[in-house]
Each structure stands twice: as C-alpha cells, then as structure tokens.
C-alpha cells in the first residue's frame, strides 16, 4: 500500500491519507473508455531534427529549480524602435534590433525592450550562467509585441514581460535542443498562435520554467493546438501559475515518444502547478507517455465533449507513469479525471470535483494499474468513480460523495468513504451530512470531520483525519 506525504499544500494545513483498501464496488456496465479520440493526433509534431534519447533519470522536481533569488544584472542595455545598432545600447543611445542585442550581450546583462512591434527572434548565440542569467525584459507598462515566433536554443535566459503574438503556423515560443536549459518564460503573454502549441519544450531541453503567463487563442480550428506542449526527451519542465484558455486542444499536453512526436525517452519530471485552465476544445491537462508528473493545485473549468475529446479536465493515458493528481479544483466539465490506456501509478488525491457539466463522471479509471482515488471531495456528479475492466481494482477511500447519483461503479476496492445524500457502498461506509460550505469545505458539525480512516505517518488535525480533500484545523 502506498503511503505518500504531501509536499506542498495549497488547500490545507496538514494532511493524511492511506489505510488499506478492501471490499468491492457494485458492478455495472462500463462506459466507453475515455479515449480523447485522436489524442495528440497531429498534435505537437516537433519539426526538424530528431531528438536523441536522454537518460531520463531526473525525478519530478517539486519546488526547487529556478526559484532561488535572482542576481541583480551587472549591466543593462536597451532596444528601441528609434535606436541604432551602431550605438552602445545604453538608455540614452539604445540599439535598434532585438536580434542585435541578444547576440551582443554576455552573462549578467538585462536587455530592456521598449514597446512597439518586433519581428520574431532566435536566441542562439550566447549563454547566461547560473550566477549570471541573461534577462530579456519588456519595458514596464509598455510591453513589446513580437509578431513572429521566439525560439530559445541557449541556456540561462529569462524572458520577462514580453508579448508574443505570432500568427505563423509554428510554435509561438519554443525552448529547443540540449543547449536550451535553465530558461524561464514569465509574466508574458502568448496569444493568437496557429501552430501546434503556444509554447513548446522539445528536443532535449531541460529545466524550463513557464510561470505567470497568459496563453490564449492558440488555434488550428478543428485540429488540436495546445497552450503548452512538453515533448519527449525533455526533463524537469515546470508550468506554474499561468492562465491558459481558448486553445483548440489542451491547456497543457505532455506528449509521448512516437505519439505524433519525436522518438526517444519520455519527458521526465513535469510539474503543472497553480495554474488556471479553462474553455479549451479538449482538455485542461493531457498526459500521455511521460514519467514523474505532478498536477497540483490547479483550477480547471469548462471542458466539453468535442470531436476529438470526451471533455475530460485531466486525462492520463497512453503509458503515462507515476502521476500525482492532487489538490485541484475541477468543475463544469463533462469528465473530471480520467486514467487509462496503459497508464500506471496514478494517484488522484485531495481534489475537489464539483458541479459537473451534464452530471457526468468525476473520476474514471480505464485500463492500467496502480490507480487510486483517495481524499477527494466529489459534489454533484452522475457517477463519482467508475472503474472499468482492467483498471486493477483501484483503491477508493476517504472520499466525500455528496449528491452523487452512483458513488462507485465497477470493480474497485472501496473502503471507508463518506456518503452524503448519496447511496452508500463498499466496506465501512459512513453516512451523514457533509455540510459543505460554498467553497466545498466541511462546516462545523460536518460528518466529514475527524471520521475518516486513520492513517499512519500522516498527521491529522483534531481527533482524526477528515473525509475529503480538505483537513480542517
């Protein structure tokens, strides 16, 4: 039995889980496997060269990497539409082109790009260093707009406060190649793309942080295009605190080798945390053959069945392995979290899945192994957990089922859940009012409080652990 400790927590103070499964769910006919039909079809095809395989030893980094305090720049240079590349790039006599600037500076330099429109850009000449990254910053309050794609193939670059509005049918922002590592895209806007993704991390790129951006209107019509795509052979990619919406595919997709992408090792160590995803034509997060993935603390809403998707907020499938789906808030979607098609070791824990569109299925386990649904709060769904044939008897424990038509369908190890306005099932059921407030937090007197199955190693507030996603203190 797996016992996992929560590393970060956006929703709760102290938490606990585990215990052992037992019992069984009530059988019912399986629903069609969540297929995300055509998932990745013509999705994130990495153009050009074929990436060499990388020994994927890196584990999913959770909270380290590029978050150390940033050194002050040792030099600041300027680029202005009124500048001159023959000048010195000082504030008084700025350069004229960004291309000249990015090829001319060294480690520790901050390049400030004045407002205006600029052509696409390749950062291919100079590396920063860990102690002295190179910053390409938009002018504050007057953000420069790049009307062509921005491609980064060197290391230790920070793109900060720019806008990329390329309508060329290629990735709008691309971190590519083994030389592209320890790079950051932050506080920026990527919009109006017509390529396979707004942002691509591909071909051996590593330690890339995409943070605090708005990425939207990335569309190829009825063909999928994603906000961010993480491709095979990459390592340690973090997508944190972004708002990604209005794509014709997913907000974030991690695509596997051979899945309409390059061959090589699967992407390894992907963290998708604290983002807001909504209103895409497919999914919020689509994880295919990638390894060591954490999807945590995101808010997701507004996903519907389309010609290439079953309307899942999160789909983990196609040989994805070691995936944690934790502490997300998922609503107004046809399906909440779906695993299957050979996925292994997927923990669905402490999510609040509520107000389902069409009152459909909150959590669906398809073919695969090592699945569990623990400490989730499921409110207002036709089906809480569906376990299809071949899903390996997933553990279903310490969840709240509130106003759910059928708590568990299929073959699952159901033990100790709270059933509120929901027919009880499984071993050791607890029946009572969850008394959830407007934020789906149990109110005083809730039957959820202190009544869940005790768990070794993990602390709980009060007399015992609470059912559902949130441990009240």
Give contact residues for Ca ion (rule: CB under 5 A). 36, 39, 250, 282-283, 286, 450, 460-462, 466
Give residue for tokens 């993480």: 230
**Which two tokens mark 338?**
């779906």
Q: How far is the CB of 402 from Ca ion (least distance, A)?
A: 18
Is residue 176 within 8 Å of 202, Cβ to Cβ?
Answer: yes
Is residue 1 within 8 Å of 460, Cβ to Cβ?
Answer: no
Nearest in space to 280 (alpha carbons), one of 316, 254, 255, 305: 305
Q: How far is the CB of 208 from Ca ion (least distance, A)?
A: 21
SS3 67: helix
Q: What is the separation of C-alpha 437 from the centre of its chain, rounded to a whole number of angstroms?
A: 27
Q: How far is the CB of 286 from Ca ion (least distance, A)?
A: 4
Element (H, E) at 271: strand 268-273
Give residue for tokens 């029946």: 431
**In this complex, which beta carbon is closest to Ca ion, that of residue 285 or of residue 353?**
285
439 contacts: CB under 8 Å, gap ≥ 6: none
Nearest in space to 41 (alpha carbons), one of 322, 296, 259: 259
Element (H, E) at 176: strand 173-176
Q: How far is the CB of 399 from Ca ion (least distance, A)?
A: 15
Rounded distance between C-alpha atoms, residue 426 and residue 410, angstroms = 11
**In this complex, which beta carbon is closest to Ca ion, that of residue 36 or of residue 236?**
36
Q: How far is the CB of 395 from Ca ion (least distance, A)?
A: 20
Q: What are phi and psi of 67, to 5 degrees?
A: -100, 5
What distances in angstroms separate CA 401 from CA 113, 155, 210, 383, 446, one per listed residue?
Answer: 53, 48, 35, 10, 13
Element (H, E) at 312: strand 312-316
Is residue 98 within 8 Å of 138, Cβ to Cβ?
Answer: no
Nearest in space to 296 (alpha carbons), one of 373, 258, 240, 242: 240
Q: How far is the CB of 434 from Ca ion (least distance, A)?
A: 14
Rounded distance between C-alpha atoms, residue 277 and residue 285, angstroms = 8
Q: How far is the CB of 408 from Ca ion (least distance, A)?
A: 24
**Which two tokens mark 231?**
């491709």
Q: How far is the CB of 161 from Ca ion (least distance, A)?
A: 30
**In this complex, which beta carbon is closest to Ca ion, that of residue 345 or of residue 446?**
446
Q: How far is the CB of 260 from Ca ion (least distance, A)?
A: 12
**In this complex, which beta carbon is closest to Ca ion, that of residue 405 or of residue 464?**
464
**In this complex, which beta carbon is closest to Ca ion, that of residue 415 or of residue 466?**
466
């Amino acid at each position: 039995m797996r016992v996992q400790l929560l590393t970060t927590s956006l929703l709760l103070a102290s938490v606990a889980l585990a215990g052992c499964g037992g019992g069984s769910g009530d059988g019912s006919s399986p629903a069609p496997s969540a297929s995300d039909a055509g998932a990745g079809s013509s999705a994130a095809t990495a153009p050009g060269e074929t990436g060499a395989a990388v020994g994927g030893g890196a584990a999913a980094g959770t909270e380290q990497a590029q978050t150390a305090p940033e050194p002050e720049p040792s030099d600041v240079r300027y680029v202005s539409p009124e500048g001159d590349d023959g000048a010195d790039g000082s504030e008084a006599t700025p350069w004229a082109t960004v291309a000249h600037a990015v090829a001319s500076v060294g480690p520790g330099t901050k390049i400030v790009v004045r407002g205006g429109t600029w052509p696409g850009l390749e950062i291919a000449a100079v590396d920063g260093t860990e102690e002295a990254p190179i910053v390409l910053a938009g002018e504050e309050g007057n953000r420069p707009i790049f009307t062509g794609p921005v491609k980064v193939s060197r290391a230790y670059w920070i793109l900060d406060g720019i806008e990329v509005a390329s309508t060329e049918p290629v990735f709008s922002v691309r971190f590519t190649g083994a030389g592209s590592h320890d790079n950051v895209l932050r506080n920026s806007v990527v919009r109006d793309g017509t390529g396979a993704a707004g942002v691509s991390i591909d071909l051996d790129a590593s330690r890339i942080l995409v943070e605090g951006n708005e990425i939207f209107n990335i569309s190829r019509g009825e063909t999928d295009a994603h906000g961010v795509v993480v491709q095979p052979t990459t390592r340690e990619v973090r997508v944190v605190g972004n708002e990604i919406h209005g794509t014709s595919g997913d907000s974030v997709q991690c695509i596997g080798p051979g899945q309409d992408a390059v061959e090589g090792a699967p992407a390894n160590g992907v963290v998708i945390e604290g983002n807001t995803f909504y209103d895409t034509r497919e999914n919020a997060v689509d994880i295919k053959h990638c390894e060591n993935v954490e999807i945590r603390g995101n808010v997701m809403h507004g996903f519907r069945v389309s010609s290439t998707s079953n309307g899942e907020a999160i789909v983990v499938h196609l040989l994805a392995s070691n995936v944690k789906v934790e502490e997300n808030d998922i609503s107004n979607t046809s399906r909440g979290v779906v695993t299957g098609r050979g996925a292994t070791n997927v923990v669905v824990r402490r999510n609040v899945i509520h107000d389902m569109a069409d009152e459909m299925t909150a959590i669906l386990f398809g073919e695969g192994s090592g699945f569990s649904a623990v400490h989730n709060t499921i409110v207002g769904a036709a089906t809480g957990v569906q376990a299809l044939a071949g899903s390996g008897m997933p553990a279903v424990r310490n969840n709240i089922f509130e106003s759910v038509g059928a708590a568990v369908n299929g073959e699952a190890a159901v033990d100790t859940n709270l059933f509120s306005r929901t027919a009880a099932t499984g071993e050791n059921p607890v029946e009572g009012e969850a008394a959830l407030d407007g934020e789906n937090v149990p109110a005083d007197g809730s039957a959820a409080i202190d009544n869940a199955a005790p768990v070794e190693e993990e602390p709980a507030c009060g007399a015992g652990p609470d059912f559902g996603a949130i441990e009240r203190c």
